[in-house]
Chain A
Amino acid sequence: MKIVVLVKHVPDAQFDRHLNGEGNTADRDESILSELDEYALEAALQLAEARGGSKAGNQVIALSMGPAGAVNAVKKSLQMGATEGVHLTDDALAGSDAAATSLALAAAVRHLGGVDLVLTGMASTDGETSLVPAQLAERLGLPQVTFASSLEVDGGRLTARRDADTSSETVEAPLPAVVSVTDQINEPRYPNFKGIIAAKRKSITTLSLADIGVDPAQVGFAGSWTTVTSAEERPPRTAGTIITDEGDAGIKLVDFLAAQKLL
């Protein structure tokens, strides 16, 4: 099986995150592999291992689109066990919205060729729009299975479970397909020492827009279909009244709610 996992290098949510510069894009210092993408990578590794791993010809390709630093998301994926890394990078990609991102990623997936499955996290932890998996599926003409909380592949078909608020569904689709997974699907592994050493020997292919046949005008700020016209940092919330319970805090809470007209 040839599985492509989309991995994104995102600003670490443990720190304050900022927008700046042209087009109010996120400041990418202090970035890490998006936490939600680790579940997709783990799902890919489990599928490959169940089929005899790389010795049996299974490939798990970590694909990241982004500036120079994004290669770190690929490196971490290789340490966890991905067999190959691909870094799609080009100055013209800066500022790409979901539509432009999905266009570039679709071209990269086509360029890799013969892909059975594209796995992604349920959302990036920076843009948080969840648009890219569905847009990628639409562009590639593939079925999409989103928010999978379990995933099985048997022959040329996949079966997944997805939990919505009012129902749980079982879903089937033929391969190739685009699947996004939730954080309920598995427990991602940590890279171990062996994995870290092995990763040093794995290759990372760098692709430019020219390599995948995408016109720079179709991506980046120029090719995006949405634009951020203004961004204003919200004043941080400040602490209000803090009291210590002296046996009547529940009643004081109700007094507060009444005063705020929230009852």
Chain B
Amino acid sequence: MTKVLVFIDNPGASLKKSSLELLTLARSLGESTVAINGDLSDDVAATFAEYGVGTVLHPSANDLGDFLVAPKAAYLAAAAETTGAGIVLVDNSPEGKEIAARLGIRLNAGVITDVVAVDPDGTAHKSVLAGSYNTACKATTAVSVLTLKANNVAPEPASAPSTPETATVEVPAVANAARITAREQKVASGRPDLTDARIVVAGGRGMDGDFGPVEELADALGAAVGASRAATDAGWISHDAQVGQTGKTVSPQLYISAGISGAIQQKAGMQTSKVIVAVNKDAESPVFEIADFGIIGDVFDVLPQAAAEIKKRKG
């Protein structure tokens, strides 16, 4: 049976949905081991048992988070070698992809990013060129390293819980890693992460400096807030919110585009969303070419009305 190694960095007090997706996929492919970095809470340990994890690995060093990527890749490479993993699964965050990148070189393993599904034989599926092609890819090496995009696997506990063993993995010394000398936590918005969110409400130039209506609708829907480059460049909202070719790529169940014309760079970041809704005053906006439901209208009328109606229906 294939041995599958899952990396979860700083699992925190409870596992994120994207981590549950990794565990669910791992179980479908073989016998799963988790390598964590950081503290393991009782709740997370219980979730690992619930998801059928065989072994939980810890690094021998506790300062991996003080450096960029390289020591984490070295730890994971050692963990993969110790467990004889045939597949290593990492989340698809920018850091996850870089860990996968360095890990691939250390293990002589092919790396596939942006994976949405994996067949039992290890063939990975992903979309490329901004969602215009669906491709199947396979590592030709003994080990495959795959980074899984969030929201593509339904988290599901194992039919019977496991009793995970624990073990420590010796982290090889890494010379020449960049050190993190200061870290400022950003104020948490309380909204879901943009890349993991089931629903995204995004605003653009048409918001004219006022993201209030976008945020209000997002909160009514329990959605993340996104933005076009025009809106982030104008300083109306933080750059983290940017969706598009030079920002984040999202593929939620629902994407609501408000006051965004839908230039190709914006479309590149969101056109694999399952359902697209667009609200824009300009009937000629290219976003209407790809919207499942389009409203030609003023965002400052439509968004607040929709938010109020949702609140009313939800009681």
Tell whether A138 pairs with B110 under 8 Å between CB atoms, given A98-B101, A144-B98: no
A188 cross-chain contacts in B, Cβ below 8 A: none
B3 lies within 8 A of chain A by Cβ: no
Q: Which residue of chain A has the shortest Cβ distance to B247 in the bound complex? A: A183
A251 at the interface (CB under 8 A from B): yes
CB distance from B138 to the nearest CB of A (A): 6
For the A-B complex with A19-B135, A172-B178, A226-B112 known, give 15 more contacts whose Cβ atoms are closer than 8 Å: A13-B265, A36-B246, A102-B105, A130-B113, A131-B101, A145-B178, A164-B94, A184-B239, A225-B104, A239-B289, A245-B297, A250-B306, A254-B309, A260-B275, A263-B221
Enumerate chain A interface residues (CB-CB to B < 8 A): 11, 13-14, 16-19, 24, 26, 35-36, 97-99, 102, 122, 125-135, 137-139, 141-147, 159-160, 163-174, 177, 182-184, 224-234, 236-245, 247-254, 256-258, 260, 262-263
Name which of B51-59, B155-163, B179-187 contacts chain A.
B179-187
| A154 nearest CB across to chain B (Å) | 13
Whether B245 contacts A125 by the Cβ 8 Å rule is: yes
Which partner residue on chain A sits nearest B194 by CB separation? A165
**Which B residues lie within 8 Å of A258 (CB)?**
313
- Asked whether A131 and B97 contact (CB < 8 A) given A14-B264, A262-B275, the answer is yes
Least CB distance, A261 to chain B, in whole angstroms: 9
Determine if A138 and B105 form an interchain contact, defined as CB atoms under 8 angstroms apart.
yes
Interface centre among B127, B128, B130, B183 (most CB of A within 10 A): B128
Chain B 156-175, CB-CB to A under 8 Å as 1, else 0, gives 00000000000000000001
How near does chain A come to B66, taking the closest CB pair, in angstroms? 10
The reply on B102 being an interface residue by CB < 8 A is yes
Question: Which 3 pairs, one residue from A and one from B, show the smallest C-beta to C-beta distance?
Answer: A250-B305, A245-B297, A225-B110
A12 to B135, CA, bound (A): 20
- Contact residues in A for B68 (Cβ distance below 8 Å): 143-146, 171
Taking CB atoms, residues of chain A closer than 8 Å to B183 are 167-170
Question: Does B139 reach chain A (CB closer than 8 Å)?
Answer: yes
Q: Return the chain A residue nearest B123 by Cβ.
A: A229
Q: Are A177 and B178 in contact (CB under 8 A)?
A: yes
The B interface, classified by DSSP as helix, strand, loop or mixed, is mixed
**Are B296 and A244 within 8 A (Cβ)?**
yes
**B111 is an interface residue with CB less than 8 A from chain A:** yes
Q: How far is the CA of A184 from the CA of B242 in the complex (A)?
A: 11
A229 and B138 form a contact (CB under 8 A) = yes
Residue numbers in A under 8 Å from B182 (CB-CB): 169-170
CB-defined contacts of B186 to chain A, threshold 8 Å: 165-168
B254, A225: Cβ atoms closer than 8 Å: no
Q: Which residues of B contact A16 (CB under 8 A)?
A: 132
Give the distance in Å from the alpha carbon of A97 to the alpha carbon of B308 in the complex.
50
Task: Report the separation of the CA atoms of residues A228 and B138 in the bound assembly, to the nearest whole angstrom.
Answer: 7
For A242, the closest partner residue in chain B by CB is: B294
Residues in A neighbouring B298, C-beta threshold 8 A: 245
* Cβ B139 vs Cβ A226 within 8 A: yes
The residue that A234 contacts in the complex, of B133, B184, B268, B305, with Cβ under 8 A, is B133
Do B177 and A143 touch (CB < 8 A)? yes
**Is B109 interfacial (CB 8 A cutoff)?**
yes
Q: Is the CB of A227 within 8 A of B133?
A: no
B70 at the binding interface (Cβ < 8 Å): yes
Residues of A within 8 A of B132 (CB): 16-17, 233-234
Across the two chains, which residue of chain B brings its CB closest to A19? B133
Measured between beta carbons, the chain A residues less than 8 angstroms from B277 are 253, 256-257
Contact in complex: A143, B135 (CB < 8 Å): no
Contact yes or no, B246 A227, CB < 8 A: no
Q: Are A249 and B297 in contact (CB under 8 A)?
A: yes
Residues in A neighbouring B135, C-beta threshold 8 A: 19, 24, 228, 230-232
Q: Are B185 and A230 in contact (CB under 8 A)?
A: no
From 207 to 226 in chain B, residues with beta carbon under 8 angstroms from any chain A beta carbon are 221
Q: Are A226 and B111 in contact (CB under 8 A)?
A: yes
Q: Which residue of B lies closest to A141 (CB)?
A: B176
Can you list 12 residue pairs at the A/B interface with Cβ under 8 Å? A17-B130, A125-B245, A134-B97, A160-B178, A182-B246, A227-B140, A230-B135, A237-B290, A243-B294, A257-B277, A262-B253, A263-B310
Q: Which of A131, A171, A183, A228 contacts B179 (CB 8 A)?
A: A171
**Chain A residues within an 8 Å CB radius of B240:** 163, 165
Pick from A160, A225, A236: contact of B141, CB below 8 A. A225
| CA A102 to CA B200, docked complex, whole Å | 35
Given contacts A13-B245, A14-B264, A227-B137, A129 and B114 within 8 Å (CB-CB): yes
Give CA–CA (A260, B264) in the complex, Å. Answer: 26
Contact call B295/A252, Cβ cutoff below 8 A: yes
In angstroms, Cα B299 to Cα A188, docked, is 33
CB nearest neighbor in B for A161? B182
Q: What residue in chain A is nearest B98 (Cβ atoms)?
A: A134
